[in-house]
Amino acid sequence: MKIAVFVSGRGSNLNAILNYPDLKSLVEVVAVLSDKIDCKAFEIAKEFDIKTFTVGKNEGMIHQDEITAILKKLNVELIVLAGYLKLIPFMLIENFENRIINIHPALLPSFGGKGMYGMNVHRSVYNSSAKVSGATIHFVDKSYDTGKIISQKCVDISDVKSPEEIADRVLKIEHQILPEVVKAFAEDRIIIEDNRVIVLN
């Protein structure tokens, strides 16, 4: 299965997908897209000889209306948003219905929505005095963080002393569940029934 990964920065989730042993024979990352000209994730992509694209309006960038055609040409079957911070164009969502997933660093439907990304999420969780946090993988629909939930895993944060500590614990979980969900897609083990998503074993 050919996939595209959208990133905005560090790319540790991209790295987790690329280095997950079970995915090596199942999945090929054929494109990495970012809203940044340069980011750590692009360095990782280049190490793996993966095409990179910057989405934007300047020269050398691809316009967001072009994304769908580019990904179709590359035969992409699944789009993974791994820390991509821009809203996804409607056209892409319509053309890749139930084929775009996002990783969110908290337990949705709490701590999601516009502006809730990266450390903003972990600070809100910390300030809420919640005792657990976690990671969520969900389908992408037309607004932020509201699509159907595919997978979640929680982590105990009852003893943390900072939002950074929450971020560290959650990231470890992200790196486990994201490749697992991508694998389930590649093996056709994801079923949508009414409003629920079932991941078959």
**Residue in 67, 105, 111, 151 binding ligand GAR, rule: CB under 6 A:** 105
Q: How far is the CB of 53 from ligand GAR (least distance, A)?
A: 16
152 scored as a contact of ligand GAR (CB under 6 A): no
Residues binding ligand GAR: number (CB under 6 A)? 18
Q: How far is the CB of 187 from ligand GAR (least distance, A)?
A: 23
13 scored as a contact of ligand GAR (CB under 6 A): yes
82 scored as a contact of ligand GAR (CB under 6 A): yes
Give residue for tokens 């139930």.
98
**SS3 letters for the chain?**
CEEEEEECCCCHHHHHHHCCHHHCCCCEEEEEEECCCCCHHHHHHHHCCCEEEEECCCCCCECHHHHHHHHHHCCCCEEEECCCCCCCCHHHHHHCCCCEEEEECCCCCCCCCCCCCHHHHHHHHHHHCCCEEEEEEEECCCCCCCCCEEEEEEEECCCCCCHHHHHHHHHHHHHHHHHHHHHHHHCCCEEEECCEEEECC
Compare residues 48 and 75 and give the one whose CB is closer to ligand GAR.
48
**Residue in 83, 147, 163, 179 binding ligand GAR, rule: CB under 6 A:** 83
134 scored as a contact of ligand GAR (CB under 6 A): no
The residues with which 101 forms a beta bridge, in sequence order, are 80, 139
**Residue in 56, 89, 113, 118 binding ligand GAR, rule: CB under 6 A:** 118
In the shown chain, the binding pattern of residues 168 to 187 toward ligand GAR, with x for contact by CB under 6 A and - for none, equals ---x--x-------------
Q: How far is the CB of 86 from ligand GAR (least distance, A)?
A: 10
Give residue for tokens 């997933």.
101
Is 104 part of the annotated catalytic residue set? yes
Residues with active-site annotation: 104
Give the binding site for ligand GAR (CB under 6 A).
7, 9-13, 41, 82-83, 103-105, 116-118, 121, 171, 174
